[in-house]
Amino acid sequence: MISIIDYKMGNTRSVFNAFKLLGENVEITNEKDRLTQAEAIVLPGVGSFNDGMKDLNQNGLKEFLTEEIIDRKKPYLGICLGLEFLAKRSYEGGICDGFGWIDSEIVKLQPSEKQNKVPHMGWNDTEIVKEHGLMKDFTAAVFYYLHSFHMKINNSEKEVITSKCNYGGIGIVSSIQKNNIYAVQFHPEKSQENGLKLLKNFLEDIRK
Amino acid sequence: MLKHRLIPNIILNDGNVVQSKNFIHTNIIGNAITAVDFFNSWASDEIIILDVSRNKNKRKEFHQIINNISKRCFVPLTIGGWISNTDEISQFLKEGADKVSINSELIRNPNLLSNAVKKFGSQCIVASIDVKKNAKNEYEVFSERGQSATGLIPVEWAQKLEELGAGEIFLTSIDHEGTDKGYDIKLIKNVAENVSIPVIAFGGVSRWQHFVDGINLGKADAVSAANIFHFTEHSVFNAKKFLVENKINVRIPQFFNLPTPRKPKYNELF
């Protein structure tokens, strides 16, 4: 079973539909015993970092996820906010702590070229840095992005980056992988064929 | 580089896809799920679905349609028409929508926008503006599907909506809608250059060249149309091809085959 965390921050149903289309058993839940039994945990989400983290904390999910993902090594796929939560902290609406699993911070997107609007919304070219895991068999890819903040990874952990993209002169971390932790800034569930292929890659990689 | 988006707009009246001319909805064209299936496989970048039915009893059916459509739509899906509260936005999101578009209710109640943005985030809320030339030949915002003049000036209203947190502006020229005149370039440009959120142009497309004009001359971030997409095979794909040939930065068109075949009864899909 693939379990998608239900925490009221966004388009969980779209992610559900995508896994369903791939023929997977999938559920949307925030019950810990369900999540404990899951083969993999998916944390999607759009919206504000603070609100999302508040909701996860209220349900005691932050500590729970640390146990499941870090200690018990359960595969994790973070989408958009689900990537941003991996950082040590975010500056969205004041400083807010993340899971801290990746040595990084979430900062406001500030394109240097003025014609680039924020949020970064739409389809953008994505440069593959490491052609394995999520990015297996991709040479170049276009994915759907929708975000106003992005991840800045500290030098010590730059090797986790598996793809990146350029928006108005700013380098954006598009996807990362660190052991059993996979995450993407863009939306595979809304990136048509490329997105479905990426989700399939995720499933193949965790079942290797 | 970020691509310009090409967005088919599907207008539903009592559950049927209809043609629209100056906001009067006439010819029934067909079934919504079939339309989404085609548009989804013909390289659309997003899909917008608007409910224009005046029959309140049909709203439930509309929700059911969205619920079924979302299972087959793997590009962002925006839902609009008659949305007046955050409860219904939640419901659409649960049914698989990614964004909602709100129009008249924002004029009656601008607080809805700030509340919705707080709850769902800016990226989720498309503020829709309908513009018509008034008796003085000046652009004016109209609400209630073009029925009532609001006294609002389009650029100022767009800026206000941006300030309240809207993620995008969907801008329609009622005078051009359903005609063959192309976009109202002057209107689109005026708004697009005076807000810092994306503007989606709508109304008047009758040739692929109009999309090019909307982007190059109107400075729209995304271009949308309804009627033109319904009557030719591979319409969105061909429109995209035309944009590529005209050096517009768009996602290269590719046919996308859903791994699941269409079924006679869509709600039995899974």
Q: Tell me the CATH number at B26.
A: 3.20.20.70
C-alpha to C-alpha distance for B123 and A73, rounded to whole angstroms: 33
CA end-to-end distance (rounded Å), chain A: 16
User: Total domain count for chain B?
Assistant: 1
Report if residue B255 sits inside a domain: no
What's the angle, vertex CA B24, arms to CA B21 and CA B28, rounded to 5?
Answer: 85
Domain housing B194: 5-249
Sign of the CA dihedral B135, B139, B140, B146?
A: positive
Nearest CB neighbour to B197, from listed A117, A125, A142:
A117
> What 3-state DSSP class applies to A101?
coil
The answer to whether residues A208 and A147 touch, using CB atoms and an 8 Å cutoff, is no
Where are the extended beta strands (E) located within A34-116?
A: 40-43, 76-79, 89-90, 96-97, 104-108
**Residue B95, C-beta contacts closer than 8 angstroms, at least 6 positions apart:** A13, B63, B66, B67, B70
Give the C-alpha separation, B53 to A150, whole Å.
40
Q: Is A183 helix (H, G, I), strand (E, B) or coil?
A: strand
Does B265 reside within a domain? no
Residue A146: list chain B partners with CB under 8 A. 76, 123
| Cα B250 to Cα A147, A197, B224, B237, distances in angstroms | 19, 21, 13, 12
Identify the band that residue B263 occupies on the pLDDT scale cut at 50, 70 and 90. low
Which tens digit of pLDDT belongs to each residue from B10-44? 999 998 888 877 777 777 777 888 888 888 888 89
Mean pLDDT score, B2-17: 93
Query: Domain of A136: which CATH number?
Result: 3.40.50.880
A53-65 pLDDT, tens digit per residue, is 998 999 899 999 9
Test B70 with A116 for CB contact under 8 angstroms.
no
Residue B235 lies in a domain: yes
**pLDDT recorded at residue B232:** 78
- A131 in active site: no
Whether B257 maps to a domain, the answer reads: no
Residue B267 lies in a domain: no
Residue A185 belongs to what domain range? 2-206
> What is the count of structural domains for chain A?
1
pTM for the structure as a whole: 0.92
Which of A24, A68, A80, A113 is catalytic? The answer is: A80
Cβ neighbours of A193 in B, within 8 Å = 74, 254, 256
Percentage of chain B with pLDDT > 70?
96
Q: Which of A125, A147, A193 sits opposite B1 (nearest CB)?
A: A125
Cα separation, B119 vs B140, in Å, equals: 30
Write out pLDDT tens, residues A120-135: 999 999 999 999 999 9
Q: What is the mean pLDDT of each run of 10 residues along chain A (208 residues)?
A: 86 92 95 97 88 90 96 97 96 92 95 80 95 90 93 96 94 97 97 95 96
Say yes or no to pLDDT of B264 above 60.
no
